[in-house]
Chains A and B, each alone.
Chain A
């Protein structure tokens, strides 16, 4: 176009080139992480895929690799995740709702906010020590599923609270004002409008938090989850083991077969994780559609 001078043209070309380079950079970084995950999956699959069969899923651990299975760990993990979800989601979401919708902004609320952010960064082993002192010893819950779930809930609560608060903050004030102008109380507004609108965001936080809980090992070892369990827990007060512990146990043995069993265990763990996330994402998308 004649409207643009030669100098402007050159400048524009330069800017567009920069834009292109930046998009290459971003794509490169993204694919690098995908590649890394691919390598991990490949490695694990090569070692473990051959071991995965019904026998592996349905057997208790054994000192003979060909008879060993992940049944007790799998069931333990499912119990644990269920209990953690029941404990941490209501507490986490309520706390976030309180801090965002009810608490008066001020020094105290700021203090709580900073502390929650700090707690999210505390090493998980520290939560293990806390759980051992409080739940296992003080409340005398022993080395039970309940102790483990309570400890893990402490660990992931900061993540749920922070993510839920962010989700609640994205709800436009105009919706709250609309509800208030109809003579709604704060509680009615929060329950009927703020929570449903922020629900998808809260679910994203819950996915992240539960995924972290499913893979954590240190706090469970600390509170004394067992490493060799040849029975299934029947209630929250039973002792238990979980998949990461079983995997850790197998991988620390010298025999090659057990290393391969560990790889098989990792595959099962990833499948459980995938299944759980898919369920949550399905629920989230369904509510998102309903809001549109």
Chain B
């Protein structure tokens, strides 16, 4: 299995803002078919390094399907096939020589419903790095990840309690910490706040701002206010087509396509 090409970390380079605009993922005419029926139709777009890109659109437009194709989670659903190319650095994610396990190690994911393992808080975080041959102190790793996910202060005295005793919002932040412990290059978030109350949602949105300097984030959301608050770029999808893609401010205030305007102003969807 060839190593996917390593990518320089450009986050420290603030003097040349244009240098930061590097594509972390680049999609070329991606179509996704469920047993032959297209769910995603020739989508081309890219996700920039150290930026938050949100994917919005009405239910059933295929945004989650698209997101799951970015770390090959669709492989587990039988009958799903993908056409086109998704370039991760200089490697095609769906190339014959790419090991999907390696892809998922480097592109992390947070799911719609918090899904902690029925284990201790500590083991929830330490397990992933453990199976991937993490060297060094697990204690430090757990502490660092929990701090990054803004959960450390709430759980530091009960690291060996079951993760299932946490509240929903804490569980979701634990899931984020678990994904961060793998030190992924990209973090995919599939409606991470849809099961949470407004306070927990605010926690997670703050968290995403902090994480931006180190990670590339792609988030699927139902919530247009959330998309406009947190993301740098926005992709609007409908019925499997990418309708509009651009800087968030432009998409929300001066959309180029009429359909986008109707959606972001709440006239449908």
Contacts and interface: CB of A to CB of B under 8 A. Distances in A.
Interface string B96-117: 0000011011101101010111
B166 interface: no
A196 to B, nearest CB: 8
A179 to B, nearest CB: 8
Contacts of B13: none
Interface string B46-84: 000000000000000000000000010100101000000
Given A175-B115, A193-B117, A197-B118, A180 B104 contact: yes
B164 A183 contact: no
A174 interface: yes
Contacts of A180: 73, 76, 104
A177 interface: yes
Contacts of B128: 182-184
Nearest to A189: B131
B104 A181 contact: yes
Nearest to B107: A181
A181 B175 CA distance: 11
B131 A192 contact: yes
A178 interface: yes
Interface centre among B109, B131, B162, B182 (most CB of A within 10 A): B131
A127 B31 CA distance: 54
Contacts of A292: 118, 162, 164
Contact of B111 (A177, A196, A197): A177
B115 A174 contact: yes
Interface residues of A, number: 21
Interface residues of B, number: 27
A40 interface: no
B150 interface: no
Interface centre among B118, B162, B175 (most CB of A within 10 A): B118
A197 B178 CA distance: 19
B101 A183 contact: yes
B115 A178 contact: yes
A172 B104 CA distance: 20
Interface centre among A180, A185, A291 (most CB of B within 10 A): A180
B111 A184 contact: no
Interface in B112-126: 113, 115-118
Contacts of B118: 175, 196-197, 291-292
Contacts of B106: 183
Given A182-B128, A292-B164, A105 B78 contact: yes
Contacts of B73: 177, 180-181
B162 A183 contact: no
A188 interface: yes
Nearest to B123: A192
Given A178-B115, A192-B127, A184 B101 contact: yes
B179 interface: yes
B131 A188 contact: yes
Contacts of A178: 111, 115-117, 175, 178
A184 B71 contact: no
B132 interface: yes
Nearest to A174: B115
Contacts of A185: 101
A182 B123 CA distance: 13
A31 to B, nearest CB: 37
Interface centre among A176, A182, A192, A193 (most CB of B within 10 A): A182
A276 to B, nearest CB: 27
A183 B101 CA distance: 5
Interface in A160-212: 172, 174-185, 188, 192-193, 196-197
Given A181-B111, A183-B104, A192-B131, 4 more contacts: A177-B109, A178-B116, A181-B108, A184-B131
20 contacts: A105-B78, A174-B111, A175-B115, A175-B117, A175-B118, A176-B76, A177-B76, A178-B116, A178-B178, A181-B109, A182-B104, A182-B105, A182-B132, A182-B182, A183-B182, A188-B131, A196-B118, A197-B118, A292-B162, A292-B164
Interface of A: 105, 172, 174-185, 188, 192-193, 196-197, 291-292
Closest 3 CB pairs of A and B: A183-B105, A182-B128, A174-B115
